Amino acid sequence: MASEKVAFITGGNKGLGFETARQLGKLGIKVVIGSRDLEKGKTAAQKLQSEGIKVDVVAFDVSRKADYQAVYNYFDKNYGRLDILINNAGTSSEDFRGGNKTSTTSAEVLHDTFDINFFGVIEITQTLLPLIRKAPAGRIVNLSSILGSNTLHATPGSPIYEAKAFAYDASKAALNSFTVHLAHELKDTKIKVNSAHPGWVKTDMGTDAAPMEIPDGAKTSVRLATLPDDGPTGGYFHMEDALPW
């Protein structure tokens, strides 16, 4: 088994996931990209390989239940452990600037959003946790958003007070709850679990209106993925700043 650290990044073939893979790879960490479309994942991996990064790609679609066990089998066979899990894949079908439409948000939109942003994260984390427990110092990073902060949503004048996309916001608030609960369960282990707010970033979801470039957006995930032994767990961060739940 390889002695170098190995990281699994869901949705790692583009955007923030791809840049997170690049930055971790530059630190000497072997990165494995999880991609819904395996061919797109292979193309992304080739780009990283051209930069001297050790990278592999596996098929991972949150909606394909067989993929969960296949991913476990891949890491178990090739490494016998997993050092870093970055739950990066996420979705939203709502218009973030379309006003508050909570009363008309459909059950379909809620189910589709939660399946990927919440239930999928829980399932892949629970599936891979036995391998993370075998790592010398496991790190789990859940890609949340400042839009998951109930405190800021309820505070008039906060930066997000007028930004209400109910399904997405609620899924990230629920994800934050998972972070808190899992971190508590693992508090006496070497595993650290944290939520990351990357910032408003120029991605497909963030659009070109966003003020942050993708390399800066990946920094929070990379920091939390490489925390030292005395680093925080059960937290909610943007860069080094703690955010209110």
State the pLDDT confidence band at 97, using cuts at 50, 70 and 90: confident
| Whole-number pLDDT of residue 212 | 61
User: What angle separates helix 120-132 from helix 65-78, to the nearest 10 degrees?
Assistant: 20
| Whole-number pLDDT of residue 83 | 98
Which of 68, 79, 168, 236 is catalytic? The answer is 168
| Whole-number pLDDT of residue 1 | 45
Residue 1 lies in a domain: no
82 lies in which domain range?
A: 6-242
Rg from Cα positions in the chain: 17
Asked if the model's pLDDT at residue 94 lies above 50, the reply is yes
Q: What CATH number should be reported for the domain holding residue 178?
A: 3.40.50.720
- From the number of C-beta atoms within 10 Å of its C-beta (0-12, 13-18, 19+), residue 103 rates as exposed
Is-contact 195 171, C-beta < 8 A? no
Task: Tell me the pLDDT tens digit for each residue of 27-61.
Answer: 999 999 999 999 999 999 999 999 999 999 999 99
For the question of residue 168 being annotated catalytic, the response is: yes
Task: Tell me the pLDDT tens digit for each residue of 121-139.
Answer: 999 999 999 999 999 999 9
Give the closest residue to 15 by CA, choosing from 33, 38, 39, 2: 33
How many structural domains are present in the chain? 1
Residue 98 lies in a domain: yes
Residue 75 lies in a domain: yes
